[in-house]
Chains A and B, each alone.
Chain A
Amino acid sequence: MAIVKLQRPKLNFGEKIYFGALIKGFFLTMSHAIKTLRGKSVGAESLASSGLGITMQFPEQRWDEHMPEYYRGAPALVTDEQGRERCVSCQLCEFICPPKAIKITPSEIPSDDPWAKVEKRPLEFDIDMIRCIYCGMCEEVCPEQAIYLRKDYLITGLKRADMVHDKKKLYEIGGTRVGLVNKWNELK
């Protein structure tokens, strides 16, 4: 009962030799080719075309300014307007990270440091960019607004060690972020 017999559509002679459809397709392709050569491809402008068709000539041409606001690139650590490193090494990102790309070694802030009241900061903070899947969970889970996915997407290296972003590199990518919640203010 599970077998249902279908009636194949009846084709006439013209359809059976499929020559008409072939020629139709050929003309469609040619019309696009001519449009490309005349520099009039559809969507060339919005897709940052290099001039021929809609192809972008990477890496000479970048699509950076066309990147959407929500683009998720390399995760990075940020400092705030007071120059304080915001990460307190709570290790929640390390815990949540699905591919286990993050490794943090916590440390105590010495008592002579101006930010001694924060008590804790990372000694080492490594993100293995071979493992990172750019999911943004670390940004979402961070209780201190310290880790953000930036728009950097060109993460390359010649060996595995090059692909591990250490703390210095992460702050370099992250830079300063202003307008965040200032929890460790003078009242704290």
Chain B
Amino acid sequence: MSDTPSATAEMKSPKSQAAEKGLVNVQIDGVWHQFPKGTRMIEACRQAEVIVPHYCYHPKLTSPGNCRMCLVQIGMPPRPAPGQEAPLDENGYEAIVWTPRPVIACANTVSENMGIRTRGDLVEKCREGVMEFLLINHPLDCPICDQAGECRLQEQSVQHGRGISRFVDMKVKKPKNVDIGPRIRLDDERCIMCSRCIRFMDEVAGDPVLGFTQRGTHTTLTVHPDRLLDSNYSLNTADICPVGALTSNDFRFQMRVWFLKETPTIDVNCGTGTNITVWTRENKIHRITPRLNDEVNSAWMPDSHRLNFHFIDSEARLTEPLTRITDTPSATFQPITWNSAISHAAAQTKAIPAAQTAIIASGRMTNEELFLTRTLAAEIGTHHLSLVPRFADADALLVAADRNPNTTGAKMIFGTDDPYEKLDSIRDGVRNGSIRSLIILGEDVITDANFTDTDLGKLDFLLQTSVLANPTANQAQIVLPSAAFAEKRGSMVNLSGRLQRLNRAVEPQGQSHDDWEILRDFILALSGDKNEVYHIEDVFKALAENVTAFNGLTLSKIGHQGIEIVDTGYQIPLLTNERARQAAGLING
């Protein structure tokens, strides 16, 4: 009997059991949990799925404890008299004596045998009091405020507010509609002094330009007199602002958030592969916000990447397959059907020997598209296959030097260490006439790869797939409209070797097709085979069978947080910073 698990457990107290694992026992709303020592109470509550309303606390920032919204009641076992043992209950826990004074959950840590109450009269009264103070000077701007619908103050005031103000004096006037930076608008009357934005700019963005001036009810958030809030990470302050004090100029008055549909996907502007949420209504993207992923971008994203979506429904967008009317000297195009575009392209490609044909693909293509590109090269029988490199300065946070989002995927699928290697030889080939046919997939080689109009003019055949009209497409015989990043499904591998998934947030515009469908149709037109690939899942399946790193995976297995499939040794600088702050005990979210 004595060696059954229950009997063994009885011998050891919960305290010593937890201590063996470096944990402490904490009772939250009557239920016992175990947390590591040093966990903030608010984090413990979050892990126990108990909601503690808060404004100033953010898991990725330090806790100044200035909003007072997260007040909870705590209790500890009383200290026994000398020589006495503390009485234990039937489960081995000491009795908790509740303190009459509440404490803030965000800046206090848990300890052994502690009790936390997030409900009850005391806590409710505290929240009501704090809400009443916060609402004293808050303007009745909700109908014109962009934050309405995702505003913490609105939510908590529904839950803990009074409905009617007891305050008879005038509300304090503060600057409204202040232009503090190129992408951010400040409304000081709405600010509740949580200081999240100040801490973000200081701790994460490393550009401490924000601060408070004045005192008491006149406290005003402001930007340093000689500076602007112009960091490339400034829009994150609008994301973390719990009220509508900081709002995005780009999204200002565009659409109320309750109309928007959220699609989790990834950013394609650099090799980091920032996780994002795309917010759409009726096939139009209204904004993009970062999505939490502790292995990629934490909770942040750069403004340059965030705002790069307006091209999707711009004037330059290609919406139907075009063919060049060759008789006229200036480039004029006329729309044709997909069927004839693909069959023309196939006939022209077949007419030129494989050795004189080259393919320039893009590092912005998904794994599936790159795999089909490889198949296409094999079908044609050419070895002239390259991507277009896209390098620029990295910042010390999230923006990687490699601005192609899928270089790692291309390396694995093409089985080479340098997928950009052959670009120069293709360019030379075009110039000296040894390459007469060029298939360009999603790239603008005139702008990005040092080709010129004269170079491309020498070609007998140029096929271009593209999202937007561009100088290269202007030289092409056939232009096929493809899908933008928010319009397609697929997967990419970021610089740190994480396989992540793109999801379709909006339908492709006009008649444009998914890139993988264009490639599939083109390959079938060249080979004359019968189609057996109907879904992107089928392409991924073929990819998983052919490339070792993808073995056993499917698109759905990737999930919204991605899977690490290869160790490249690349460190995302922002995560390194964050882990250092975590190790220093500054944050523990």
Contact = CB atoms under 8 A, between A and B. Distances in A.
Given A119-B177, A120-B253, A90 B144 contact: yes
A95 B148 contact: no
Interface residues of A, number: 19
B154 to A, nearest CB: 12
Nearest to A142: B143
Contacts of A188: 139
A95 B259 contact: yes
Contacts of B139: 188
A38 interface: no
A187 B256 CA distance: 27
Nearest to A91: B256
A106 B286 CA distance: 13
A90 B176 contact: no
A182 B254 CA distance: 26
A108 interface: yes
Given A95-B259, A117-B176, A187-B170, A108 B143 contact: no
B252 A143 contact: no
B121 to A, nearest CB: 33
A183 B140 contact: yes
A107 interface: yes
A88 B145 CA distance: 10
A90 B170 contact: no
Interface residues of B, number: 16
B258 A144 contact: no
Nearest to A183: B140
Contacts of A187: 170
B562 to A, nearest CB: 34
A92 B139 CA distance: 19
Given A95-B259, A119-B177, A187-B170, A90 B143 contact: yes
A88 B144 contact: yes
Contacts of B331: none
Q: Give the one of B142, B176, B256 with max A CB within 10 A.
A: B256
A95 B253 contact: no
Nearest to B148: A90
A108 B170 contact: no
Interface in B437-462: none
A118 B144 contact: yes
A147 to B, nearest CB: 12
A107 B139 CA distance: 21
Contacts, number: 35
Nearest to A188: B139
A19 B485 CA distance: 83
Given A106-B253, A106-B254, A143-B142, A91 B170 contact: no
Interface string B109-146: 00000000000000000000000000000011011100
Contact of A90 (B177, B254, B256): B256
A107 B253 contact: yes
Nearest to B144: A120
Interface string A83-113: 0000011111011000000000011100000
A118 B255 CA distance: 17
Contacts of A120: 144, 253
A91 B253 contact: no
B384 to A, nearest CB: 50
Nearest to B253: A106
Contacts of B253: 89, 106-108, 119-120
B417 to A, nearest CB: 51
A92 B144 contact: no
Contacts of A108: 252-253
A53 to B, nearest CB: 51
Contacts of A119: 144, 177, 253
Contacts of A95: 256, 258-259
B435 to A, nearest CB: 50
A174 B82 CA distance: 82
Interface in A124-158: 143-144
A12 B84 CA distance: 104
Interface in B137-177: 139-140, 142-144, 148, 170, 176-177
B143 A144 contact: yes
A87 B170 CA distance: 25
A183 B139 CA distance: 11
A91 B144 contact: no
18 contacts: A88-B144, A89-B253, A90-B142, A90-B143, A90-B144, A91-B255, A91-B259, A94-B259, A95-B256, A95-B259, A106-B253, A106-B254, A108-B252, A119-B144, A143-B142, A143-B143, A187-B170, A188-B139
Interface of A: 88-92, 94-95, 106-108, 117-120, 143-144, 183, 187-188
Interface of B: 139-140, 142-144, 148, 170, 176-177, 252-256, 258-259
Which 9 A-B pairs have CB atoms at the shortest separation, nearest pair first?
Answer: A90-B143, A120-B144, A106-B253, A91-B256, A143-B143, A88-B144, A88-B143, A119-B144, A108-B253
